[in-house]
Amino acid sequence: MANYYRRFIKDYSKIVSPLTALTHKNQPVKLKWTPKCQTAFESIKQALITAPVLAYPDLSKPFILTCDASDEAISFVLGQLDFENKEYVVAYGNKTLTKEEKRYNTSEKECLAILKGVETYRPYLANSHFTVVTDHSALVWLKSAKHTGRLARWALRMQDLQFSIIHRPGKSNVVADCLSRIPNPFNTDSVQAISLSKDILSESSDDTESLSEPLESEDVLSDAEEFDEYKPKWRTEVKLIYEFDHVDDGHESPMVAAIEAQNVQETIDDKVSLSQLQKECPDFSAIYTYLSLGELPDDRKLRDKVVSESKYFSLSDGVLNHWYQRRCRGLAEEFKRIKQIALPKCLRLDALKSYHDSLASGGHIGREKVYNSLMEKYWWNNMHQNVIDYVKSCDRCQRAKQNCNPNRPPLTKMPQVGRFDRWHIDVLGPLTKSPDGYEYVLLVVDAFSRWCEGFPMKTQNAKEIAENLYNGVVTRYGSPRVLCSDRGQAFLKGLSHQLQVFSPFYMMFGQDMKIPFDIALEPKDNLPQDTKTYLNQFISNIKVAHTIAHQNEAVNKEKDKVRHDEKAKTQTFAVGDLVLIKVHKFPTGMSRKLCDKAEGPYHIEEIGPNHTYALRRQSDQKKHKSLMNATNLQLYTRPEPVRQRLTVHPPNQNDAPEPDSDTESLEDDAEIQDAHDNVVQPPPQPVIDPLKKYTFKEIIKGRRKQGRREMYVKWLDNTNTWEPDTNFDQDMLDYINSRWTKKGKRKKSLLNLDL
């Protein structure tokens, strides 16, 4: 193996001369291993694992995994193709077989080499397509053929990876075929590249290998330290492609297309550009100037605000950082302090996209997870509310996620009807097809008596349903006044309550249904004497049953309405609002979790009766075929206005709107609340009640009562009262928010932080 690399190592013959002497004939039986032999051996090993023999991985190019196996060990080498389509080595790997593994057959040993290679280099191979090269032709069909036992289990362990397998004959499958020289872009004359001229991915049937003429040069660098002086500094730049971006890079898989990596030479300092953006950002320009130059703005209010907030900021290598302290017990002090980068406004939208929308690093997680992830690294004023607004306006989340606050409008009672006046219908199926071709059942239920019948159908088209209704219902019970259907949903569960003490058979025929067992035991004296007596008894029973049924139905409907309205939550929509419609039916074969839970958006065109709305689709202006109940609607938040607010700079920092205290009520949890969103200098003598013009001495403490915050105020006349937030003006609320949490607990001071 080392002899093959000699063309890449300067003075190879001179280095290995002590080892070559040991191979000469007429050597004694016992070889003498001298210090020179040991030095030569160590020098060769060092040359094989240092530059320029090895190369750095290029994440923008596909990888090649070459594997082989023997009776004692397995090997796997990771390589790539350079700009001349020649292959070079990135990493070596091997493993000695255990006692059990040595008993594997040839196919299993070769597959084990592939498995170990994939597991070893998974960080390089996981998110891109790569090629596996093996000299065992049977493994070419590893992904497509049906294997059993050990091979099947190993194939399952690798099924999440995207790779193809090609065969190369054993005589050509040597490690030396994967080596190449890495070119030096700074001085191409100092390093002469020698590489293989054969492309291992070529489909040519010629298995012979040809080497290009080696360039005899004394300028080849053999020392790793000397090579590092000329080695350029490279970094990997990853461009994240978001859901709404146009992608046209030739990738078939959207997961592969989500990440586009390229190697770019590092010529600029990221810290310099970030500090420049912080200087130009209206939110941080004043505090940055104060910390760097000691200059304060001319405006008195802004000057006081900068001085009071400066204790939470520091400069490090020209970058403005914000300090935050966790409120967590049992945590060491060094872990409580978080150093956050003050993120300029022009980068905030990109940060939210990366932590929420990106397929690689976001995944459309919830707002608290997004906020907690951002808080570990970045900070800006009112960040928590921005995250809430951004996630709330995400189009994909509104469609795909379950609505956690569904509408429950008050229950509307259906009018009481007589027997056969209103029929409820539904179609059951498809079921197992009968020998006659029937696979659907038309179910009909009388709303008053709960009498139900079923009619078999071969299809569920309108013509066959109409024929069964006419032949099975109209001709037998008369034409119904109302036909009620919930468009395919199971309505029987809503009608299964026992609303009367009589059975449906008794409601229909005025007597209990008898079976042969009952007839045999019933006394003969209970039988009616004649037709007139039977008719009178039948009419009497029917009247009593109907009266009791109407009374029980009214009572039960009222109970159902009271029980339902206890948890009723009506969201009134106005004409012109954008809403989404809840999806009830999902495609056959698709998991409910993987499908969108809502469709739209729709414009509300008209308000109908009983919390219903007429809708028109926004995309094609097509009117919805029927009125939609508020239960199936949810308000849609357009993403464009939120993104526009995050990108447009306010004309002046003093003109920037203060955060709304009502919207900040979502930050009730003190663990996730941004501790310094509204840190401002307290105004002199704030007024609590503008009508009474009373002023106070101090705020003693706070509390949370019945879902709202109250502050314990000490007045000038030495009286103390609890006052809710609604009694304070905006300036006073800013002062309170800077010192107390939403739960009424005093915030910890950061004055003692070691910045």
Share of the chain above pLDDT 90, in %: 3
Q: What angle do CA 219, 223, 224 make, to 5 degrees?
A: 120
Secondary-structure class of domain 63-218 per CATH = alpha beta
- Six-digit token string for 167: 């065969």
Spatial distance between the Cα atoms of 735 and 683, rounded to a whole number of angstroms = 8
- Give residue 526's pLDDT: 53
Residue 309 banded pLDDT, cuts 50, 70, 90: confident
Q: How far is CA 749 from CA 676, 713, 746, in A?
A: 11, 21, 9
- Of 325, 288, 331, nearest in space to 309 by CA: 288
- Six-digit token string for 689: 């009640």
**Residue 71 in contact with residue 96, Cβ under 8 Å?**
no
- Of 137, 144, 93, 147, nearest in space to 115 by CA: 93
- Give residue 224's pLDDT: 35
Spatial distance between the Cα atoms of 701 and 694, rounded to a whole number of angstroms = 19
Residue 615 predicted with pLDDT over 70: yes
- Give residue 503's pLDDT: 61
pLDDT tens digit string along 40-76? Answer: 888 877 777 776 556 778 888 899 998 888 888 888 8
Question: If you search the block for the tokens 């500090």, which residue do you land on?
Answer: 275
- Six-digit token string for 328: 């967590």
- Give residue 207's pLDDT: 38
The most confident of 48-52, 270-274, 326-330, by mean pLDDT: 326-330
- Six-digit token string for 53: 């023999």
Strand, coil or helix: what is 721? Answer: strand
The most confident of 26-30, 566-570, 577-581, by mean pLDDT: 577-581
Q: What is the mean pLDDT of the chain?
A: 71
Spatial distance between the Cα atoms of 282 and 284, rounded to a whole number of angstroms = 6
Measure CA 56 to chain center.
33
- Give residue 172's pLDDT: 56
Q: What angle do CA 606, 612, 617 make, to 5 degrees?
A: 55
Burial (CB count <10 Å: 0-12, 13-18, 19+), residue 312 = buried
- Of 182, 183, 212, nearest in space to 196 by CA: 212
The most confident of 129-143, 378-392, 504-518, 641-655, by mean pLDDT: 378-392
DSSP state of 433: P
Spatial distance between the Cα atoms of 329 and 326, rounded to a whole number of angstroms = 9
Cα dihedral value 441, 446, 451, 452, nearest 10 = 10
- Give residue 454's pLDDT: 92
Q: Assign residue 96 a region: left if phi > 0, alpha if psi is -120 to 50, beta otherwise?
A: beta
SS (H, E, C) 441-498: EEEEEECCCCCEEEEEECCCCHHHHHHHHHHHHHHHHCCCCEEECCCCCCCHHHCCCC
**Residue 447 in contact with residue 421, Cβ under 8 Å?**
yes
Q: What are the φ and ψ backbone dihedral angles of 428, each rounded to 5 degrees?
A: -105, 130
Strand, coil or helix: what is 678? Answer: coil
- Six-digit token string for 314: 């520091």
Q: Mean per-residue pLDDT for 391-405?
A: 84
Which listed CATH number (2.40.50.40, 1.25.40.10, 3.30.470.20, 1.10.540.10) goes with 650-737? 2.40.50.40
Long-range pairs for 288-293: beta carbons < 8 A, 24 or more residues apart: 288/315, 288/320, 291/315, 291/320
Q: Mean per-residue pLDDT for 306-328?
A: 86
User: Lowest mean pLDDT: which of 254-268, 440-454, 606-620, 731-745?
Assistant: 254-268
Q: Please give the single-letter amino acid code of residue 568.
A: A
Measure CA 187 to chain center.
46
- Of 265, 338, 198, nearest in space to 56 by CA: 265
- Of 699, 670, 665, 668, nearest in space to 682 by CA: 699
Spatial distance between the Cα atoms of 274 and 317, rounded to a whole number of angstroms = 11
- The CATH 3.30.420.10 portion of the chain extends over 63-218
pLDDT tens digit string along 448-476? Answer: 888 889 999 988 887 888 888 888 888 88
Q: Assign residue 432 a region: left if phi > 0, alpha if psi is -120 to 50, beta otherwise?
A: beta
Spatial distance between the Cα atoms of 313 and 319, rounded to a whole number of angstroms = 10
Long-range pairs for 325-331: beta carbons < 8 A, 24 or more residues apart: 325/675, 325/748, 325/750, 325/753, 327/670, 327/671, 327/675, 327/748, 328/671
**Residue 447 in contact with residue 506, Cβ under 8 Å?**
no
Residue 251 predicted with pLDDT over 70: no
- Six-digit token string for 445: 């239920």
- Give residue 378's pLDDT: 92
Residue 731 banded pLDDT, cuts 50, 70, 90: confident
Strand, coil or helix: what is 262? Answer: strand
Residues 6 or more apart whose CB falls under 8 angstroms from that of 521 comprise none
Q: How far is CA 351 from CA 347, 415, 423, in A?
A: 6, 56, 57
Residue 201: CB atoms within 10 Å: 14
DSSP-derived secondary structure for 78-106: EEEE-TTS-EEEEEEEEEE--TTGGGS-H
Residue 514 banded pLDDT, cuts 50, 70, 90: low
Residue 673 predicted with pLDDT over 60: no
Q: Mean per-residue pLDDT for 415-422?
A: 77
Regarding the domain delimited by 422-532, which CATH topology (the fold level of the hierarchy) does it fall under?
Answer: Nucleotidyltransferase; domain 5 (3.30.420)
Q: How far is CA 596 from CA 396, 402, 583, in A?
A: 9, 9, 8
Residue 505 banded pLDDT, cuts 50, 70, 90: low
pLDDT tens digit string along 159-191? Answer: 888 888 888 775 555 443 333 333 334 443 333
Residues 6 or more apart whose CB falls under 8 angstroms from that of 607 comprise 573, 575, 613, 614
pLDDT tens digit string along 702-726? Answer: 998 888 889 888 887 778 888 888 8
Of residues 565 and 729, more confidence is placed in 729
Spatial distance between the Cα atoms of 678 and 674, rounded to a whole number of angstroms = 9
User: Lowest mean pLDDT: which of 141-150, 269-278, 668-677?
Assistant: 668-677
- Of 470, 378, 365, nearest in space to 425 by CA: 470
Q: Mean per-residue pLDDT for 319-340?
A: 79
Residue 709: CB atoms within 10 Å: 21
- Give residue 63's pLDDT: 92
Residues 6 or more apart whose CB falls under 8 angstroms from that of 65 comprise 76, 77, 78, 79, 114, 117, 118, 121, 125, 130, 131, 132, 133, 163
Question: If you search the block for the tokens 């995994």, which residue do you land on?
Answer: 65
Spatial distance between the Cα atoms of 51 and 8, rounded to a whole number of angstroms = 10
Strand, coil or helix: what is 646? Answer: helix
- Give residue 512's pLDDT: 63
Q: What are the φ and ψ backbone dihedral angles of 434, each rounded to 5 degrees?
A: -80, 170
- Six-digit token string for 636: 């849609």
The predicted model scores a pTM of 0.44
Q: Mean per-residue pLDDT for 331-337?
A: 70
Q: What angle do CA 655, 656, 660 make, to 5 degrees?
A: 125
**Residue 606 in contact with residue 614, Cβ under 8 Å?**
yes
Q: Please give the single-letter amino acid code of residue 601.
A: P
Q: Mean per-residue pLDDT for 264-277?
A: 57
Q: How far is CA 570 from CA 414, 565, 663, in A?
A: 19, 10, 20
User: Lowest mean pLDDT: which of 47-51, 263-267, 318-322, 546-550?
Assistant: 263-267
Residue 662: CB atoms within 10 Å: 9
- The CATH 2.40.50.40 portion of the chain extends over 650-737
Spatial distance between the Cα atoms of 648 and 553, rounded to a whole number of angstroms = 60
Task: Sort strands 313-316 and 319-325 into parallel, antiparallel or unpaired.
Answer: antiparallel
pLDDT tens digit string along 187-235? Answer: 433 333 333 333 333 333 333 333 333 333 333 333 333 334 433 444 4
